[in-house]
Amino acid sequence: MKLELKIAEITANALKSLYGIDVKCSDIQLQKTKKDFEGDLTIVIFPFVKTVRKSPDVIGNELGNFICEHESLVENFNVIKGFLNLCISKKHWIDELSEINKNDTFGYKTATDDSPLVMVEYSSPNTNKPLHLGHIRNNLLGYSLSEILKANGYKVVKTNIVNDRGIHICKSMLAWQKFGNGATPQSTGKKGDHLVGDFYVKFDKEYKKQIDELKAQGQSEEDAKRNAPLMIEAQEMLRKWEAGDANVRSLWNEMNSWVYAGFDETYKRLGIDFDKIYYESQTYLEGKSKVEEGLAKGIFHKKADGSVWANLTAEGLDEKLLLRADGTSVYMTQDIGTAKLRFEDFPIDKMIYVVGNEQNYHFQVLSILLDKLGFSWGKDLVHFSYGMVELPEGKMKSREGTVVDADDLMDEMINTAKETSQELGKQNSQNEAESDEIATTVGLGALKYFILKVDPRKNMLFDPKESIDFNGNTGPFIQYTHARIKSVLRKAAEQGINFEDTMPKPDAVSEKEAYLIQQMTLFPEIVRQAGNEYSPSVIANYIYDLGKEYNQFYHDFSILKEENESLRSFRLLLSKNIAKIIKLGMNLLGIKVPERM
């Protein structure tokens, strides 16, 4: 940040003048002053003690006095146990606010033709079931990360790989054939992904019945699972699909079309989109050809049964299956094929996979294999590994139909938002359409924020009731802060107050106001940190802290009733730009902020 660089330069010059020592700006340790102490920036004195041969407190006081005498940027200082706390002049913060006000996208960088291209893969659903709570965390993280990378000046391609083939897909298809009675989304009034998911659950229930029957006849559980008629039929359907059987392919196309329509509806409602969608049915053959190419080059090897493997013992791993003995592919094969197509479609500089932490080993292997196969970005691919999301009731299981459906959860969040707003009396002046729109914005904002505020690497417990609270570290609290500021600005406009060009004298600005501006100036660095760490939670918690500080200011200071016109204008300008940064930050999380609540 430019302030830190300036202070580092001032400190280096002071050390040279006072003690005749040359210190690089990069070697001067600066940190934000702790809230318990007076000051804005702190210089760590201890690294200079050995060279200067004075105590830390003496050096701190001599440095502080010299800087205050020679630099108007610093107006005061204090020394506490070897730490020199500098108080930056109020004029500097007023100037900073003016600069922030000039930039509608403060904190964002714009991509250029030379910017690196980053591809981010997220969502990766199966077409045998609707999206659930786990998918919500994946989608929100992937979308937010993409927006954060854009704000850091990267070109970004958001992509999805749909797992539309395999035995799990055939299970839904077979159950529909046997138990569906021709049901369609139109005839049942159900979203297509929900309808197909019902048959996936139905297959599992009927399959378990058959297993129990075979076990009662004396078969072992392993034999019963293998010999159950439904499983044998599903495996035969998969073989027919791979052979291109017209009837199986026709049913597959029809049922997948139902699911895609359902997915699109859920994605739109969640505010998620993609620039390019790939399908496993189109990539697995590319993967097989790439594996066969690697086999011909001696990168992989074939075993006696005809299966193809990669020997990764030299990399400290084990052997990895790439093609089964019958020639069918595995997930790794599909990922190799997808990588091949993506590399042909886009000049990728970095590839980021947003996938849960249970797949850590998979992506460790994929990185090595892509590098061996000649993909320049393979070695440096990023597995954005995130923790699982659970409910107070425990883990979710798709086969048993105990997952928390994404659509149902969004409905619940919107209804809860509406009920909470009514209880708090926040919708008295709104018509029904406005009330519904705000409930949707608040409900989905609560869901997104609660998930994104958590460090993505951690497992998390999702509590819908806690997430919708209008107090504390929640989406609705931040949204309400934004709406509160917008209400103040509307009232100022109604009163004909023009606040853009008037600034108060520096000595009229309070410590609280200067602190708020200082927090605002951190936003570009927060955006950079979130991009470097692949962590939307950095943005979320910064915006919460900013909103909390503003609310304290709002309660303690007059704004519209301030009699000093220049100070009133300053506080309105301060408020306007706090709202701007809240909106810019929430945009990076995919969260809307309402103008009124």
What digits encode the pLDDT tens for the residues 350-375? 999 999 999 999 999 999 999 999 99
Picking from 520, 509, 511, 519, the residue whose alpha carbon sits closest to that of residue 569 is: 509
Instruction: Give the pLDDT score at 376.
Output: 85
pLDDT tens for 489-542 read: 999 999 999 887 777 788 889 999 999 999 999 999 999 999 999 999 999 999
CA atoms 587, 418, 138, 481: torsion sign: positive
Q: Which two tokens stand for residue 400?
A: 């048993």
User: Across the beta sheet with 41-44, what order do the strands follow?
Assistant: 30-32, 41-44, 83-88, 74-80
Instruction: Give the pLDDT score at 389.
Output: 86
CA distance 477 to 548: 9
Q: Output the CA torsion 249→250→255→256 (10° steps).
A: 60
CA distance 543 to 440: 21
Full-model pTM: 0.91
What is the residue-averaged pLDDT of the chain? 92
What confidence tier does 426 reach under pLDDT thresholds 50, 70, 90? Answer: low
Which position has the higher pLDDT, 554 or 397? 554
Instruction: Give the pLDDT score at 425.
Output: 66
DSSP-derived pairing of the beta strands 83-88 and 74-80: antiparallel
Phi–psi pair at 121, nearest 5 degrees = -100, 130
For 117, 242, 278, 335, the CA distances from 326, given in Å and listed in that order, are: 38, 12, 25, 19
For 101, 204, 371, 494, 502, the CA distances from 497, given in Å and listed in that order, are: 17, 67, 62, 8, 11
Taking the CA of residue 481 as centre, how many other CA atoms within 13 Å lie in the half-sphere pointing to its CB? 31
CA distance 360 to 385: 7
Residue ranges and CATH numbers for the domains of the chain are 2-88 (3.30.1360.70), 165-274 (no CATH), 406-588 (1.10.730.10)
Matching residue, tokens 């139902």: 258
For residue 474, the SS3 value is coil
CA distance 365 to 361: 6
Picking from 8, 19, 32, the residue whose alpha carbon sits closest to that of residue 515 is: 32
What confidence tier does 434 reach under pLDDT thresholds 50, 70, 90? Answer: confident
CA distance 5 to 458: 34
pLDDT tens for 49-68 read: 999 999 999 999 999 999 99
44's enclosing H/E stretch is strand 41-44
Is the predicted pLDDT of residue 114 greater than 60, yes or no? yes
* Total residues belonging to the chain: 597
Matching residue, tokens 């410590």: 511
CB atoms within 10 A of CB 509: 22
> What mean pLDDT do residues 435-455 have?
94
Q: Which two tokens stand for residue 184?
A: 């369609």
H helical segments located in 228-359: 229-243, 246-270, 280-296, 331-345
